[in-house]
Chains A and B, each alone.
Chain A
């Protein structure tokens, strides 16, 4: 009954309103994703919790290594594979049935991500984890995590040409609010969580950038989990 009533409740006017709001949001969102990289001052990153910090390579790299451990965790890495097939499980094996990335990162044909991955986690063990916009990075911006050393991945994250054209502020926005990133900490029954909380991850990310966004030495290897 509810839905029927709702069907009637949604008048033409409200449809237009919704469409307008969403278009506005879309325009605003697009205005942020500058195609060219605009270097920004460190100060601009600041928010209420992070006061401007001095450049400090040790603190920066230390923070990055914590970020790195998260990004290399199966919850993050499994959808940032080196190939075009996502990974699965704590051992990051190739996803059963070999779904492909596709141009937009959302899969192909009858094996699009959302053919199985629902807006929310499916209850039960070994069921598809959910997210409203489940996808891999697109084909023209693969953002591979798998097999990347700390220095390689840090460079990739900072370079707008390989980080989907994000400046520092946008990076922080992404790691703070992107639903797929947050979803890493709500992975569905039976799956391990990445190290630390999402909040700690964001803090480490901010610290890394705020203290100079130092890239770890090529000699530094990631901790084995």
Chain B
């Protein structure tokens, strides 16, 4: 993050008049079709911009990232408004399309993910705002003859001498000025928006039905397509008979595509009816024979041996042989489906050698490239429109562009504009899951019960391997998204002899990042193991962890805050028990205390207290909302999350057998933000990891049972 991004800022004028601020990619020799850009200050422009100020005083922010619930629709404009001196609520917010101009400042591709948006754009958006403000001020100064330092900006206006100009009045002239070499950003004590809780800018349209999601795209002539997929994952069509399907009123066309057979109809109901009437014979894919039972046994066997070295210090096996006591544990985690509330969908219109796509995606550029390849078009002839995302959690960031490709194939094969809509069953059975993972841990304790040796092996499919086209090839076959959270765990600082190993497995079921990715299982293993270690030492789990965090002040700060606010020491009502867990994920530090009771062999989670150190909280209320969200996501994962496979057939179907926590299962949640000057971290995912282990540790406190495989619904407590 030490790039000087000022240099990449460009300005220009809108055709309709007004100022446009954009970023270009250094080194990219891209003379983009100017689109709405008429003139420039002699610099190449990307057709898209971060900020447009119209002569009508309209202020438009085009987001380089997409809104899927995490709140960047509000946070990014806050950053801009802070420096631009405009009323946040006056800003018109839009998603940018697919364009290099919107590439992630760190990842270098256009992506929303990894809980990175706010911290990675913290400078860029502020710079864009500041640059515009300076240009506008320069115009005002020039017009009035007032020295620039005596001009004042406020709420979309510049006051120079006795005169007041709106930004709109200045915008056209500002576009003709060269971009200043230096902009000074406001200091923290002058912030008006940053660090203060701001209401979501998208809440209005999300309470009156007006928000447009991919599912809501409609235009004359648009047909709906549904797809019959193979019951055995990845199977191909051998033959099909569409006679009955086509006899259904409203069904227009039935086409074969690489992933199945698509029924195209006037509306979703007719298309679904058609799909039911369709007769398809399938050729089973390589997923035949995969079963959860076999997979469990195979992965357990793998993880029982040392894999590729991930992290190593001293000699773990020597250390273990010298230990007074050895704790052994084998953990099993199932495949998990993201199940965003908006089923996956994609609208495609191909016309005159151009293709327009509307879809909720975290990877617009990847979708664009995939469509271009399928159609044989140049990428610039593919327009990607990104409406609101009805949840993402990683599922809408598929490096293989799975669902968008499917829709493009349907549009191509049928020659019709189509909106492909997946049913909930298509979604749950659609693959791209959080991987099935087994951990094998042996911890050696000394006479005082301190861990002195640790041997830890993980068996899992690699997520990054399937994302090589997006994020590059893996180094040394070590996929950080499998081992993150074990690798670099603060506990290893105090464990002299340790080994962390990895077994990469291959399966015909594709895997994908799932909210908090590797931390979904690594935090569970580390935090339940450390709880076990603490218990063996006869120590209080909070106090015991503190001992490991001497060199990890941010872990400690989060733990201390939650222990204090959550009254860790306070006695609980009869039958209630507490558990704690701490995790670092995506640069944020989170400590969670869960309070549970056991009723009829099932856990009831009453309360969750959570403290987070994410560095600067740009929108504290937004941070709290994300932490709550992560906790409930973690609760679902802990209680119910499980996709199982029998002979290549995915067993779950819909919310009746792939359950999501509901309001009555939601505990009281209290979120505390650590006052911190630490480096900014992400907040969209980090609250997920400690949730399940905190609950499991509370279950241990209640029952004396350690849970080594999730979900909890499979255990009679």
Direct interface between A and B, CB < 8 A: yes
Secondary structure class of chain A's binding surface, majority of residues: loop
Is A98 in contact with B664, judged by CB distance below 8 angstroms? yes
Cβ-based interface call for A97 (8 A): yes
Q: Which residues of B contact A126 (CB under 8 A)?
A: 653-654, 656-657
Q: Which residue of B lies closest to A124 (CB)?
A: B276
Q: Which residues of A contact B653 (CB under 8 A)?
A: 125-126
Q: Which residues of B contact A96 (CB under 8 A)?
A: 656, 659
Interface residues of B in 639-660 (CB under 8 A from A): 653-654, 656-657, 659
Q: Which residues of A contact B656 (CB under 8 A)?
A: 96, 126
Secondary structure class of chain B's binding surface, majority of residues: loop
Cβ-based interface call for B662 (8 A): yes
How many A-B contacts are there with CB distance less than 8 Å? 9
CB of B629 to closest CB in A, whole Å: 20
Chain A 97-130 interface 0/1 with B at a Cβ cutoff of 8 Å (1 = within):
1100000000000000000000000000110000
Q: How long is the Cα–Cα vector from A96 to B662 in the complex, in angstroms?
A: 10
Q: How long is the Cα–Cα vector from A126 to B654 in the complex, in angstroms?
A: 9
Is A97 in contact with B654, judged by CB distance below 8 angstroms? no
Q: Which residue of B lies closest to A89 (CB)?
A: B656
Interface centre among B653, B656, B657, B664, by most A CB within 10 Å?
A: B656
Interface residues of A in 125-153 (CB under 8 A from B): 125-126
Q: Which residues of A contact B659 (CB under 8 A)?
A: 96
Q: Which residues of A contact B657 (CB under 8 A)?
A: 126
Q: Which residue of B lies closest to A126 (CB)?
A: B656
CB of B603 to closest CB in A, whole Å: 15
CB of B269 to closest CB in A, whole Å: 11
Q: How long is the Cα–Cα vector from A125 to B654 in the complex, in angstroms?
A: 11
Q: How long is the Cα–Cα vector from A98 to B662 in the complex, in angstroms?
A: 10
CB of A98 to closest CB in B, whole Å: 6
Q: Which residue of A lies closest to B654 (CB)?
A: A126
Q: How long is the Cα–Cα vector from A106 to B510 in the complex, in angstroms?
A: 45
Chain B 659-684 interface 0/1 with A at a Cβ cutoff of 8 Å (1 = within):
10010100000000000000000000
Q: Which residues of A contact B654 (CB under 8 A)?
A: 126
Q: Which residues of B contact A125 (CB under 8 A)?
A: 653
Q: Which residue of B lies closest to A94 (CB)?
A: B600
Q: How long is the Cα–Cα vector from A97 to B662 in the complex, in angstroms?
A: 7
CB of A99 to closest CB in B, whole Å: 11
Q: How long is the Cα–Cα vector from A126 to B658 in the complex, in angstroms?
A: 12
CB of B125 to closest CB in A, whole Å: 41
Q: Which residues of A contact B662 (CB under 8 A)?
A: 97
Interface residues of B in 380-437 (CB under 8 A from A): none
CB of A25 to closest CB in B, whole Å: 36
Q: Which residue of A lies closest to B665 (CB)?
A: A98
Taking Cβ atoms with an 8 Å cutoff, the residues of A that contact B are 96-98, 125-126
Q: Which 5 A-B pairs have the closest CB atoms?
A: A126-B656, A98-B664, A97-B662, A96-B656, A126-B654
Give me 6 other A-B pairs in contact (C-beta within 8 A), A97-B662, A98-B664, A125-B653 excluded.
A96-B656, A96-B659, A126-B653, A126-B654, A126-B656, A126-B657
